[in-house]
Structures are given as structure tokens and as C-alpha cells.
């Protein structure tokens, strides 16, 4: 890269350029995160700021997810987890909840061909048994159509809550202990991880938290123990390729010590 290129690009408050080509040149492909988690927050606020119905914001948020999924495949990020609908979101107005359920079904039907073509394996994590029949059908369809995907695992957290995930894991482990298939002394971090919804996948290396919030919102509490956080004021519908690349560059500039010390 020529000297001074970064300085001539429009930069953010973090000092990172807003130029996709330059950001890609700053990335080390060998040090990309194995797993990126995103909390898709700010859809409603995005719409309200524009005098639009909240549903418009949710649809724009789905479009942002599509672009980030495409970029993950392009870059070679192996796993992306997106927080789509939490167990607490049922408290929202019934019209908004119904729209979100319908949007999931629409997204699944519209995107499945591209997801399959691009080698994307879709997994829905959460208490799926509590979802409407049409959503369950869409989940089954996505699972069947994309099962052979090997370029990206896309985890969609729907009716998901991290505390319930841990409860479900504990219940499953307790059942094995009760049945004599597992001894209490055998229970360790590996056993617990193997009973979570994300079993078999690496824990997230990077969590992207848009909308300027500083809370986890009951998302992947166990898995995020040593994850690097990237917090941005950008609302999710405005979060695009450049924003994602900025997050990756910021991630690669950090030193991950996992409780150790600098040497």
C-alpha cells in the first residue's frame, strides 16, 4: 500500500478508513476470526428516526445480514452467529412479533437458493419448539437444503436466550448422570460446551455490538468468555461491508492473551 493512502481516505472516529479496498489491504487473511457473533440491534430505532414503521427497520436489518453473510464467504470467515430473535422479544407488541416471524419465513424462502449455491450451512439455535409452525417448516427447509454447505456456518439465534441454553445443557447432562452414562467427576468445560446449542463450533473470537449498546442481551454467555468485543454506534440497518471490515481490522490490531501476560 502506498504511503499516505489511509490518510487520504475518509476515516471514522476510531481512525479507521472508510474505503473497502484499503481496509482489505490492512487485513491479514491468516488471522481472520474463526467465529464472528453479531447482535443485530437498532432496527426499530433506525426506522423511527426516519419516521417509518419499525417493520421497515427489521426488513432493512435483514438486508444488512445478507451483505455480511456474503462478505464472510468472500473473506473466508468460517462461522457467523447472528442474534435474530431473543426469548425476551416475545414481550414486544404482537403485530411486531408476527411481522418478525413472517420475515424469517420470507427470508428463508427468498435466500435459500443463494445460501445453498454459496456453500452456506444454516443452523437455527434456540428453543425452536416454541416457534410457530410456519417458522418450524422454514427451519426444516433451510436445514435440509443447506446441510452440505462447507464454506460458512450461519447460526441464526431464534427464540434464543443464553440462560435457557445453559439450563438446557445442565438438564441434558443431569439426565446422563442419572442414567449412569456420565459421572459427576467427568463434568468439565468440554462436557458443558458439548451440550450447548453451538456444540462442535469454536467459540466466537469477535462479537460485534452495534447501536452503541454495552450489554450482552443474554447472548452466548458461556461462549463469549474470551471474545473480543467491537462496539459501534452504527445502527444495524446501516451496518455494511465497510463497517464489518473495520471490525475485523480492529480485531487484528489487538493482542489476545486469554488471561496470560505480555512477553
Question: Does 181 map to a domain?
Answer: no
**pLDDT tier for residue 185 given thresholds of 50, 70 and 90:** very high
Q: Is 54 annotated as a binding residue?
A: yes
With a CB cutoff of 8 Å and minimum separation 6, the contacts of 99 are 55, 58
**Pairing verdict, β 35-39 and 206-209:** parallel
Residue 57, domain member (yes or no): yes
Residue 217 in marked binding region: yes
Which H helix or E strand runs over 152?
strand 152-160
pLDDT of residue 3: 38
DSSP string covering 242-255: HHHHHHHHHHHTS-
At 188-230, the pLDDT tens digits run 999 999 999 999 999 999 999 999 999 999 999 999 999 999 9
**Within a domain: 2:** no
Q: Binding site annotation covers 42?
A: yes
d(CA 99, CA 89): 12
Q: In whole angstroms, how far apart are CA 22 and each of 10, 88, 108?
A: 11, 40, 33
Are 106 and 179 spatial neighbours (Cβ–Cβ below 8 Å)? no
Is residue 180 part of an annotated ligand binding site? no
C-alpha of 199 from chain center? 15
| Tally of structural domains, the chain | 1
DSSP-assigned letter for residue 39 = E
Domain that holds residue 152: 31-160+197-252
Task: For residue 228, say whether it is annotated as part of any ligand binding site.
Answer: yes
The residue to which cell 433506525 is assigned: 46
Cβ distance 44 to 235 under 8 Å?
no
Q: In this structure, what CATH number is given to the domain that contains residue 231?
A: 3.40.1180.10
Alpha helices by DSSP H, listed for 13-75, are: 20-26, 43-49, 54-75
The residues annotated as belonging to the active site are 41, 89
The pLDDT of residue 8: 39
216 marked as binding residue: yes
Per the domain annotation, does 209 fall within a domain? yes
Please check the confidence at residue 263 and state whether its pLDDT lies above 90.
no
- Residue 6 confidence (pLDDT) above 70: no
- How close are the terminal C-alpha atoms of the chain, in Å? 30
Contact between 218 and 163 (Cβ < 8 Å): yes
* Residue 139: partners with Cβ closer than 8 Å, 6 or more residues away: 108, 124, 128, 131, 158
Residue 88 has pLDDT above 50, yes or no: yes
180 falls within a domain? no
Within a domain: residue 186? no
Residue 151 lies in a domain: yes
- Mean per-residue pLDDT for 95-103? 97
Query: Could you read off the pLDDT of 24-59 as tens digits, one per residue?
Result: 999 999 999 999 999 999 999 999 999 999 999 999
> Using CB atoms within 10 A of its CB, is residue 80 exposed (0-12), middle (13-18) or buried (19+)?
buried
Q: Is residue 126 a known part of a binding site? A: no
What integer pLDDT is reported at residue 57 of this predicted model? 97
Q: Is 199 helix (H, G, I), strand (E, B) or coil?
A: coil
In a domain, 25, yes or no: no
Instruction: Determine if residue 8 is labeled as part of a ligand binding site.
Output: no
The rounded Cα 247 to chain-centroid distance in angstroms is 13
Amino acid at each position: 500500500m502506498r504511503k499516505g493512502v489511509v490518510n487520504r481516505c475518509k476515516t471514522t472516529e476510531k481512525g479507521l478508513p472508510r474505503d473497502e479496498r484499503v481496509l482489505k489491504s490492512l487485513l491479514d487473511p491468516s488471522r481472520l476470526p474463526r467465529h464472528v457473533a453479531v447482535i443485530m440491534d437498532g432496527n426499530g430505532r433506525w426506522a423511527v428516526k426516519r419516521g417509518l414503521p419499525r417493520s421497515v427497520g427489521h426488513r432493512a436489518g435483514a438486508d444488512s445480514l445478507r451483505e455480511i453473510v456474503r462478505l464472510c464467504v468472500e473473506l473466508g470467515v468460517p462461522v457467523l452467529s447472528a442474534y435474530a430473535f431473543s426469548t425476551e422479544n416475545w414481550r414486544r407488541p404482537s403485530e411486531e412479533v408476527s411481522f418478525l416471524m413472517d420475515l424469517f419465513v420470507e427470508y428463508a424462502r427468498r435466500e435459500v437458493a443463494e445460501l445453498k449455491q454459496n456453500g452456506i450451512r444454516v443452523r437455527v439455535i434456540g428453543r425452536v419448539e416454541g416457534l410457530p409452525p410456519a417458522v418450524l417448516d422454514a427451519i426444516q427447509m433451510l436445514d435440509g437444503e443447506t446441510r452440505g454447505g462447507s464454506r460458512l456456518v450461519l447460526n441464526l439465534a431464534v427464540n434464543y436466550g443464553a440462560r435457557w441454553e445453559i439450563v438446557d445443557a445442565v438438564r441434558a447432562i443431569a439426565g446422563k448422570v442419572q442414567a449412569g452414562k456420565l459421572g459427576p467427576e467427568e463434568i468439565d468445560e468440554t462436557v458443558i460446551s458439548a451440550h450447548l446449542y453451538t456444540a462442535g463450533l469454536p467459540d466466537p473470537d469477535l462479537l460485534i455490538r452495534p447501536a452503541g449498546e454495552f450489554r450482552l442481551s443474554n447472548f452466548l454467555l458461556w461462549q463469549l468468555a474470551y471474545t473480543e468485543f467491537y462496539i459501534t454506534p452504527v445502527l444495524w440497518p446501516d451496518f455494511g461491508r465497510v463497517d464489518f471490515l473495520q471490525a475485523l481490522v480492529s480485531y487484528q490490531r489487538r493482542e489476545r492473551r486469554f488471561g496470560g501476560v505480555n512477553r
